[in-house]
Every structure is written in C-alpha cells, then in structure tokens.
Amino acid sequence: MMIVISDFTAFLVASTLLILSPGPGTLAILGSATASRRAGFATLAGTSTGDAILMGAAAVGTAALLTANPLAFQVLKYGGGVYLVWLGIKSVLSKEQGFAIVRPAEGEAYRRSLLVTLLNPKAIVFFMAFFPQFVAPGASAWTFVVLGVVFILFGVKLAVG
C-alpha cells in the first residue's frame, strides 16, 4: 500500500478555494443554518456524507483506471484539469444571480442534503477530475481515500469555524 500525494499544500489551497466557493451544498448549509443551528449541522452532515460516497466511487474508479492503464490515467488527469478550468471560467462568466436558499425542517435537513449531493451529476465527475491532480502515478486507492477524508474534515472545519 503506497500513499503518494504529489503536492499536499497545493491540495489544501485548492480545497479551501473549492469549499469556500458558493455552490448548491454551501448555500444549502447556510440556508438551513439560518433556520436553526441543528438544521445547519444536519445539512452539513448530509452534504459531507454524500461527498464521501461520491469520493469513494470516484476513488475506486480512478484507482482502477490508474492500475489498468497509466496512459488513460494521464488523459483523465489532464482532461480533468481542463474540465476544472472550464468550470471556473463558466462560473465567473455566469450571469445567474445565485441559488435559492432552502430552509428545510430539522428532521429533513440531513436526508434532503444527502439526496441533493448524491443526485448532482457533476459531483462525481468533479471528484474524478480534482483528486488525480494531486496523486502521483503508482499511488494506491488509499491515497484517494486519504485526500477524500482530508477534504471532508477540512470542509467541516471551515463550515463550523
């Protein structure tokens, strides 16, 4: 089991920027937290659980690709980088005013945020594009797991304060 992270500092900086950028999950957490603190924590837990599931799926798929075909992994890595740049440009140029803030009841906050996260078709593609940028060829699936855990814990820390 070899865990190889090519640039952990760059990973933390990129993760911070991603976590702090407003997206459906961030806005759902903020919206439910304005309803109540408990609803905010439940929404944070649901979003984090959904992210963990999607990261796990992305890690398994990416690790399998890495093992089976190093050239395909390189295509995924550089193609993923292009995809992330495209998402950033699209976000900056977007004329949308933002997302509607949802204020679920406390009992529904976890379930709703989990489903919103799991049903986001861009999320798994994003995670498959993001994590390979920080993983050296030859790394095991555990490298992706470590990055995923750090990403989620870092996100929770930034959300809670």
- Structure confidence at residue 4 (pLDDT): 64
- Structure confidence at residue 41 (pLDDT): 92
Q: Is 13 within the bounds of a domain?
A: no
In 3-state terms, what secondary structure has residue 83? helix
How many domains does one find in the chain? 1
Report pTM: 0.69
Q: Is 148 within the bounds of a domain?
A: yes
Q: How confident is the model at residue 150 (pLDDT cuts 50, 70, 90)?
A: very high
Q: Is 14 within the bounds of a domain?
A: no
8 Å CB contact between 104 and 32: yes
- Structure confidence at residue 29 (pLDDT): 84
CA dist 77 and 130 (Å) reads 8
Q: Which two tokens stand for residue 128?
A: 């498959």
16 Cβ neighbours under 8 A, 6+ residues apart = 154, 158
- Structure confidence at residue 42 (pLDDT): 93
Q: What is the average pLDDT across 134-142?
A: 79
The candidate with the shortest Cα–Cα distance to 75, out of 13, 106, 83, is: 83
Q: Is 11 within the bounds of a domain?
A: no
Whether 46 shows a pLDDT value over 90: the answer reads yes
Q: How confident is the model at residue 142 (pLDDT cuts 50, 70, 90)?
A: confident
21-30, 81-90, 121-130, 141-150: the lowest-pLDDT one: 81-90
Percentage of the residues of the chain whose pLDDT score is greater than 90: 10
Q: Is 89 within the bounds of a domain?
A: yes
Q: Is 48 within the bounds of a domain?
A: yes
Q: Is 64 within the bounds of a domain?
A: yes
Q: Is 147 within the bounds of a domain?
A: yes
The 10s digit of each residue's pLDDT in 81-109 is 777 677 667 767 766 555 555 555 667 88
Burial per residue of 97-120, b for 16 or more beta-carbon CB atoms within 10 angstroms, e otherwise: eeeeebebebebbbebbbebbbeb
